[in-house]
Amino acid sequence: MPTHAITAAVAGTWTLGDRTVNRIGFGAKRLTGTGPFDLGAAGDRDRVIGVLRRAVELGVNHIDTAAFYPTYAYTQPESDLRWANELIHRALAPYPDDLVITTKVGPGHDASGEWHVLVRPDQLRGQVEENLRALGRDHLDVVNLRQYRLDSMAEHFGALAELRDAGLIRHLGVSNIRPHQLAQAQEIAPVVCVQNRYGVGFGRVNDELLRTCGQQGLAFVPFFALAATGREAGGVVDNDAVLAIARSHGATPAQVRIAWTLSRGSHVLAIPGTGNPEHLVENIAAGALRLTAGELAGLDEMTDLE
């Protein structure tokens, strides 16, 4: 499909609290590698910085990131750009007034270095301050609490609510939650977005949350929408049904997956990430791709089968 002169505005807008963003944003997780801890997979610093600047030129005003996303420079002690947030700062500061940067806190590592361990509530302030330092901000636009294995998020979310009251955070969101945890968080402070896994071929376990967000006017922000069952491996999962639809539209499989994601509701925000400038343009152009009712129905059914 044609990609020239298509900007992120083509897919429409939604709100994150009092901020309006284009529904196609940019995810920093894949910024410099195929996987979140693949430290040497991507190209040079200048190219990645160029991708970030080009994204903003193309109308992206919502960037999803985290202070714990390392970059290819992590293995280079002399580098001052060891983390994705530092690349974002170098590329985009001073930040455009309409740019919303969403970050997340919660994951840490244990004594063995194993990630996907939830830090204590009293450690969240340190993670917020690290995001502020790396991004060069005096406040954070949106902070998602990414939880692991909790039944009650009250203590952790309460700690973030205190930082919001202190002016370090403007809006709060939640990530990787179960349905009952949204109401749990909302009893403590307003929630502007939910970020959970969701995509073609990735099951429908979060349909309930997606519907609830739509009913409440909250943004639903899928992760792994392109990688699907590939998850941390990155890339776009090939599938015969997706490939057939892509060929019929002269599109890429990634564009089909992004178009399906956006079709799930006007409150759904897409955050495809890449360090490839050509893929960036293609991802943004996916906002103009209109799948037929039959194609959407076929993809809906496929997600129940995989």
Parse the chain into domains and list their residue ranges. Answer: 16-305
Q: Which of 69, 72, 148, 198 is an active site residue?
A: 69
* 153 Cβ contact list (under 8 Å, min separation 6): 145, 147, 174, 177, 181, 184, 185
pLDDT at 224: 77
Coil, strand or helix: which one is 143? Answer: strand
Look up residue 43 and give its amino acid.
Answer: G
Q: Tokens at residue 131, please?
A: 């995001």
pLDDT < 70 stretches in the chain: 2-4, 32-44, 70-82, 109-116, 203, 227-238, 303-306
* 64 Cβ contact list (under 8 Å, min separation 6): 25, 26, 27, 28, 29, 102, 103, 104, 195, 221, 271, 273
Topology (CATH) of 16-305: TIM Barrel (3.20.20)
Q: Are the CB atoms for 154 and 124 separated by under 8 Å? A: no
Q: Tokens at residue 224, please?
A: 């792994």
Please state the φ and ψ torsions of residue 231, each to the nearest 5 degrees: 45, -120
Q: Are the CB atoms for 185 and 191 separated by under 8 Å? A: yes
- Per the rule left: phi > 0, alpha: psi between -120 and 50, beta: everything else, 297 is alpha
pLDDT at 221: 97
Q: Give the relative orientation of helices 179-186 and 154-165 as an angle to the nearest 10 degrees.
A: 40
DSSP tag of 268: B
DSSP tag of 96: P
Q: How far apart are CA 171 and CA 163, in angstroms?
A: 10
pLDDT at 136: 96
Instruction: Establish whether 69 is a catalytic residue.
Output: yes
pLDDT at 236: 57
Q: How far apart are CA 299 and CA 292, in angstroms?
A: 11
Please state the φ and ψ torsions of residue 23, each to the nearest 5 degrees: -70, -20
Q: How far apart are CA 83 and CA 292, in angstroms?
A: 40
Q: How far apart are CA 269 and CA 252, in angstroms?
A: 19
Task: Using only the alpha carbons of the chain, give its radius of gyration.
Answer: 18
